[in-house]
């Protein structure tokens, strides 16, 4: 069974630009979560999608947005990039996103975003 895939793996952008990252979950998984990882803040939750609906959102500004398609693939978008947005962006998939019981999260390899 193929794992979680993310594209692109690396991105270099300049301040003010926008960027779109893509995540394909494990087949059969309907929940996709996004996280930002930085050396200073560690892993922080961005948002979660299930059946094309955002069900949960972390404490990030509105410049960070996402969506999910009918095949469960998800994209996240960051507009008006700032230097502080440089990070590893990870997506995770699970069957139902319940964060309870046996609903395990599986992570992709991440997209390394550098903002110059």
Please state the φ and ψ torsions of residue 52, each to the nearest 5 degrees: 70, 15
Q: Which two tokens stand for residue 72?
A: 């469960």
60 is a contact residue toward other proteins (CB under 8 A): no
Supply the minimum distance, in Å, between the C-beta of residue 80 and other proteins. Answer: 25
What gap in Å lies between CA 6 and CA 55, rounded to an integer? 21
28 is a contact residue toward other proteins (CB under 8 A): no
Under 8 Å between Cβ of 79 and 98: no
What gap in Å lies between CA 1 and CA 94, rounded to an integer? 14
What x/- string results for residues 29 through 58 when contact with other proteins is judged by CB under 8 A? --xxx--------xx-x-xxxx----xx-x
64 is a contact residue toward other proteins (CB under 8 A): no
By CB under 8 A, name the binding residues for other proteins: 4, 6, 31-33, 42-43, 45, 47-50, 55-56, 58, 88, 90, 92, 94, 97-110, 112
């Amino acid at each position: 069974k193929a794992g979680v895939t993310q594209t692109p793996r690396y991105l270099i952008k300049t301040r003010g630009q926008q960027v779109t990252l893509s995540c394909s979950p494990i087949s059969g998984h309907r929940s996709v979560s996004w996280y930002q990882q930085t050396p200073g803040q560690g892993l922080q939750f961005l948002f979660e999608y299930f059946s094309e609906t955002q069900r949960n959102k972390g404490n990030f500004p509105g410049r960070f947005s996402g969506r999910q398609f009918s095949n469960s693939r998800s994209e996240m978008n960051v507009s008006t990039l700032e230097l502080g947005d440089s990070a590893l962006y990870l997506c995770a998939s699970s069957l139902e996103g319940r964060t309870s019981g046996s609903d395990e999260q599986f992570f992709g390899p991440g997209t390394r975003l550098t903002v110059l």
